[in-house]
């Protein structure tokens, strides 16, 4: 069995004959879906057995491995393994930071053996159940540093499972931002205890959000028709788009994600989503949604911020007095807030029609955290307390007392509808007084 790297120009006849036999004839994939115009620019591999072309696959410029096909009479002889290992080596040589593929669900176990992890739920592709699977290559952080590191200010580190996290240091603060999920993990002004909370039991793995920090909830906040809570972007790898220093010695990191076939299978819209994080004596996070398609879409969205407090039982949240809220703990009963929010049990409230600043008064740490916002008309206040805490394998016992979520959101019924070409900014500004 011999494998060769080929271009479409060199081996179009052999490559298309194998794919025609496997995908179009055997798997009934519609012809128009198979020839997608990506072949000319792809890197292809072609396997021969006794000078007979028997298998092929391709790697696209964005790290997408696809079109893996082995003729029926030559399966289970290692052709798939040989092609995958060859494409992984090519991706490393091309200094790709990660590779991904849409695996037929029944083949997921094969790819998992090579370090691919499932990301998101199953989706149909040509009526065959598929899973998106991703693998971060060993040089992911190096690749990012070559393009985006700022000496003395910003550097990407591998936080585990090949997941790159930006470590940011300014004269006024430090922060950590995970590329997966576009998730701020930490922010700590000099001289202060950490302001953003991350669990001691947090898990860093492909396809799983980190417990704590600021999960990005998009394109829906909360549960939606039995789909994953808080949308799908928080478990997906985003792309780093820009890093720079700015006024007042701040550091700006811009991350983005846009639609692809696996997101469209879950939510059939074209979009571009960006998170712009500005780190300094204050923390600013801007979530920018763009409708890049040709039809309107409606979202709910949120920055699900976890804050570090000295003791939840002594903590108060000001700024919501007189506003209405849905109490999730009491079957979404509608209530009106009177005075400060205090905590003596599981608390999970969606405050609606509110644009006010919120202040977390923390007598144990002797500070007040102010959360100002723009482009958000709902605020969620959440603490899991003792029982719910036990339900989270990525929360350590007793950690509920160290944290409170004050989330900057647009939650139902505060929805956002965007016409084609329109954009929406949701911004949270956080400071310590």
The contact set with ligand TA6 (CB under 6 A) reads 215, 222, 229-230, 304, 328, 348, 380, 382, 405, 407
Would you state the torsion angle of the CA atoms of residues 323, 324, 325, 330, taken in this order, to the nearest 10 degrees? 130
| Pairing, β 324-327 against β 358-362 | unpaired
Per-residue b/e over 13-32, b at no fewer than 16 CB within 10 Å?
A: ebbbebbbebbbeeeebeee
Is residue 379 within 8 Å of 364, Cβ to Cβ?
Answer: no
Smallest distance, Å, CB 352 to ligand TA6?
14
End-to-end CA distance of the chain: 68
Residue owning tokens 């985003």: 238
Distance CA 413, CA 205 (A): 33
Smallest distance, Å, CB 228 to ligand TA6?
8
- Closer of 24 and 229 to ligand TA6 (Cβ): 229
Smallest distance, Å, CB 126 to ligand TA6?
31
User: Bridge partners of 124?
Assistant: 129
- Closer of 399 and 407 to ligand TA6 (Cβ): 407
Smallest distance, Å, CB 380 to ligand TA6?
5
Token pair for 407? 């989330």
Distance CA 52, CA 18 (A): 11
Token pair for 414? 């505060």
- Closer of 361 and 394 to ligand TA6 (Cβ): 394
C-alpha closest to that of 382 among 307, 318, 287:
307
Token pair for 117? 């992890």
Per-residue b/e over 217-250, b at no fewer than 16 CB within 10 Å?
A: bbbbbbebeeeeebbbbbbbbbebeebeeeeeeb
- Closer of 230 and 269 to ligand TA6 (Cβ): 230
Smallest distance, Å, CB 409 to ligand TA6?
8
Per-residue b/e over 168-202, b at no fewer than 16 CB within 10 Å?
A: bbbeebebbbbbbbbbbbbbbbeeeeebbbbbeeb
C-alpha closest to that of 235 among 264, 206, 213:
206
Smallest distance, Å, CB 227 to ligand TA6?
11
Distance CA 357, CA 58 (A): 51
Which amino acids are annotated catalytic?
A: 304, 407
Smallest distance, Å, CB 327 to ligand TA6?
11
- Closer of 341 and 380 to ligand TA6 (Cβ): 380
Distance set, CA 142 to CA 70, 97, 133, 210, 325 (Å): 34, 8, 22, 22, 46
Residues in the chain: 433
Smallest distance, Å, CB 259 to ligand TA6?
22
- Closer of 128 and 224 to ligand TA6 (Cβ): 224
Asked if residue 37 has a cis previous peptide bond (ω within 30° of 0), the answer is: no
- Closer of 122 and 327 to ligand TA6 (Cβ): 327
- Closer of 144 and 416 to ligand TA6 (Cβ): 416
Per-residue b/e over 258-277, b at no fewer than 16 CB within 10 Å?
A: ebeebbebbbebbbebbbbb
Residue 25: DSSP 8-state: I
Is residue 343 within 8 Å of 315, Cβ to Cβ?
Answer: yes
């Amino acid at each position: 069995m011999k494998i060769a790297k080929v271009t479409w120009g060199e081996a179009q006849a052999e490559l298309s004959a194998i794919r025609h036999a496997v995908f179009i004839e055997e798997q009934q994939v519609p012809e128009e879906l198979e020839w997608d115009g990506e072949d000319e620019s792809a890197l292809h591999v072609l396997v021969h057995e006794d000078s007979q072309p028997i298998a092929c696959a391709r790697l696209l410029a964005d790290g997408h491995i696809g079109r893996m096909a082995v003729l029926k009479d030559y399966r289970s002889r290692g052709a798939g393994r040989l092609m995958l290992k060859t494409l992984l080596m090519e991706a490393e040589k091309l200094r790709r930071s990660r590779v991904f593929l849409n695996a037929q669900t029944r083949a997921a176990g094969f790819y998992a053996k090579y370090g691919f992890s499932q990301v998101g739920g199953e989706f149909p592709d040509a009526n065959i159940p598929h899973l998106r699977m991703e693998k971060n290559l060993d040089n992911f952080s190096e690749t990012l540093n070559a393009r985006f590191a700022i000496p003395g200010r910003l550097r990407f580190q591998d936080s585990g499972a090949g997941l790159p996290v930006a470590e940011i240091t300014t004269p006024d603060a430090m922060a950590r931002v995970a590329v997966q999920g576009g998730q701020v993990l930490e922010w700590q002004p000099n001289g202060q205890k950490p302001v953003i909370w991350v669990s001691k039991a947090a898990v860093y793995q492909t396809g799983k959000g980190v417990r704590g920090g600021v999960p990005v909830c998009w394109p829906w906040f909360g549960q939606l028709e039995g789909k994953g809570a808080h949308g799908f972007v928080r478990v997906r790898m985003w792309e780093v788009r820009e890093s720079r220093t700015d006024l007042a010695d701040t550091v700006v990191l811009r991350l983005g994600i846009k639609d692809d076939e696996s997101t469209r299978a879950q939510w059939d819209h074209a979009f571009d989503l960006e998170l712009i994080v500005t780190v300094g004596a204050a923390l600013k996070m801007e979530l920018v949604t763009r409708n890049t398609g040709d039809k309107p879409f409606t979202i709910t969205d949120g920055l699900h911020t976890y804050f570090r407090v000295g003791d939840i039982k002594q903590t108060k949240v000001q700024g919501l007095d007189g506003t209405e809220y849905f109490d999730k703990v009491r079957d979404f009963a509608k209530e009106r807030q009177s005075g400060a929010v205090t905590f003596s049990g599981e608390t999970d409230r969606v405050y609606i029609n509110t644009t006010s600043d919120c202040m977390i008064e923390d007598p144990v740490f002797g500070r007040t955290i102010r959360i100002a916002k723009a482009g958000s008309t709902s605020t969620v206040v959440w603490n899991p307390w003792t029982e719910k805490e036990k339900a989270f394998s990525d929360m350590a016992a007793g950690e509920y007392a160290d944290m409170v979520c004050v989330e900057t959101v647009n939650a139902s019924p505060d929805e956002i509808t965007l016409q084609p070409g329109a954009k929406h900014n949701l911004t949270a500004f956080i400071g310590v007084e």
